[in-house]
């Protein structure tokens, strides 16, 4: 059919088709998210799945998030020292570390790590259930698959991520602290004083709000792409990749938007 129309029109048709499928996708995703949220608040709620997801997302992600935060905090201390030393304002290092970690690095790095770890696992699990008819089987056993599979995961991720980020914040500051004391010759008292002078409760709160939003996005992408898996092992693989990529991109976009809303005044 395409061959019959002239060259420029082919591109217009292609553009049109892309826009249409983009809008369709956005609509489907919004509907899916809405269904997920509604099913969190309407009974029954599957506590077992919720607790299992909490353990998986929160507790089992601790090591990777902790290490990431520790080293990032340290690296920022090192990098800002090399930058600051020439202006003789190296006292600013503590405040740079704590603000960078609580406002940005804590939520974003924890989010990206969890997206890779948990988002992928969710997409693979739900995708496998989809291609092996287990989701149809749920329906025939009077169970709403969105309520059983999606709602508990959305809620668990939204709650678990802020807790992870609290720990990431603490360890990020600890990383900066350790490097500053051991390598850069700061006194512990001075560093801690400077840290507490620099950080405001608002910085931490907004970081945690970001974390909650990121958690929701990660679980949403994992469930959505898993749910739409088609065609066996390859399909599940594709949806796993899509879930991680989409979650990472959305996370960075929302990070920008939330920063713009909260900090740019």
Partner 1 sequence: MTQSVPKIRIRNLSKSFGSNHVLRDVSMDVETGTSFVIIGGSGSGKSVLLRCILGLMVPDSGSIEIDGQNIFELSSAQRNEKLQQMGMLFQNAALFDSLPIWQNVAFALLYGHRKNKPKVSRHEAYDIACDVLKLVGLDPTMVSDLYPDELSGGMQKRVGLARAIASKPEIIFFDEPTTGLDPIMGAVIDELIKSCVDTLGSTAIAITHDMASAQRIGDHAAMLYKGELIWQGKAKDLLMTDNPYVHQFTHGLRQGPIKVETKVK
The rounded distance, in Å, linking the Cα atoms of 116 and 68 is: 13
Question: Does 255 sit near partner 1 (CB under 8 A)?
Answer: no
| Alpha-carbon dihedral sign for residues 80, 81, 82, 85 | positive
Contact 226, 145 (CB under 8 A): no
Q: Which stretch binds partner 1 (CB under 8 A): 62-70, 75-83, 128-136, 158-166?
A: 128-136
Residue choice 143, 181, 198, 245 for contact with partner 1 (CB under 8 A): 143
Question: Does 100 sit near partner 1 (CB under 8 A)?
Answer: no
Closer Cβ to partner 1, 233 or 253, answer by number: 233
Q: Residues in contact with partner 1, total (CB under 8 A)? A: 18
Closer Cβ to partner 1, 130 or 158, answer by number: 130
Question: Does 142 sit near partner 1 (CB under 8 A)?
Answer: yes
Contact 156, 50 (CB under 8 A): yes
The rounded distance, in Å, linking the Cα atoms of 76 and 172 is: 9
Residue choice 32, 71, 148, 262 for contact with partner 1 (CB under 8 A): 148
Closer Cβ to partner 1, 144 or 259, answer by number: 144
Helix (H, G, I), strand (E, B) or coil at 186: coil
Site for partner 1 in 34-63 (CB under 8 A): 44, 46
The rounded distance, in Å, linking the Cα atoms of 262 and 239 is: 33
> In the block, which residue shows the tokens 């008292």?
189
> In the block, which residue shows the tokens 């809620």?
155
Closer Cβ to partner 1, 97 or 155, answer by number: 155
The rounded distance, in Å, linking the Cα atoms of 232 and 239 is: 11
Closer Cβ to partner 1, 6 or 141, answer by number: 141
Binding mask 203-242 for partner 1 (x = CB under 8 A): ----------------------------------------
Q: Which stretch binds partner 1 (CB under 8 A): 141-149, 166-174, 185-193, 238-246?
A: 141-149
- The CB-of-127 to partner 1 minimum distance in angstroms stands at 13
Q: Give every CB contact of residue 50 below 8 A, 6+ residues apart in sequence.
A: 152, 155, 156
Question: Does 32 sit near partner 1 (CB under 8 A)?
Answer: no
- The CB-of-243 to partner 1 minimum distance in angstroms stands at 18
Closer Cβ to partner 1, 133 or 241, answer by number: 133
Contact 187, 198 (CB under 8 A): no
Q: Which stretch binds partner 1 (CB under 8 A): 103-111, 124-132, 202-210, 250-258?
A: 124-132
- The CB-of-156 to partner 1 minimum distance in angstroms stands at 16
State the alpha helices, DSSP H only, in the chain.
7-41, 47-54, 62-84, 93-99, 106-114, 120-131, 134-140, 145, 151-182, 188-198, 201-227, 232-263
Q: Which two tokens stand for residue 122?
A: 């969710």
Q: Name the site residues for partner 1 (rule: CB under 8 A).
A: 44, 46, 125, 128-129, 132-134, 136-137, 139-144, 147-148
């Amino acid at each position: 059919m395409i061959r019959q129309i002239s060259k420029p029109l082919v591109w217009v048709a292609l553009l049109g088709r892309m826009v249409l499928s983009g809008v369709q996708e956005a609509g489907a995703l919004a509907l899916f998210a809405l269904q997920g949220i509604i099913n969190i608040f309407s009974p029954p709620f599957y506590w077992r799945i919720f607790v299992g997801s909490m353990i998986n997302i929160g507790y089992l992600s601790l090591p990777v998030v902790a290490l990431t935060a520790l080293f990032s905090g340290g690296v920022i201390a090192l990098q800002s020292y090399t930058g600051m030393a020439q202006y003789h304002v190296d006292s600013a290092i503590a405040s740079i570390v704590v603000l960078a970690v609580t406002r940005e690095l804590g939520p974003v790095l924890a989010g990206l790590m969890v997206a890779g770890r948990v988002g992928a696992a969710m997409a693979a699990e739900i995708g496998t259930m989809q291609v092996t008819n287990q989701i149809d089987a749920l329906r025939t056993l009077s169970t709403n698959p969105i309520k059983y599979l999606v709602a508990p995961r959305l809620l668990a991720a939204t709650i678990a991520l802020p807790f992870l980020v609290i720990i990431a914040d603490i360890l990020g500051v600890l990383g900066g602290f350790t490097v500053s004391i051991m390598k850069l010759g700061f006194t512990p008292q001075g560093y801690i004083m400077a840290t507490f002078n620099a950080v405001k409760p608002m910085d931490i709160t907004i970081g945690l709000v970001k974390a909650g939003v990121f958690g929701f996005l990660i679980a949403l992408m994992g469930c959505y792409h898993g749910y739409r898996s088609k065609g066996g092992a390859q399909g599940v693989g594709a949806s796993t990749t899509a879930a991680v990529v989409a979650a990472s991109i959305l996370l960075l976009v929302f990070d920008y938007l939330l920063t713009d809303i909260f900090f740019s005044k």
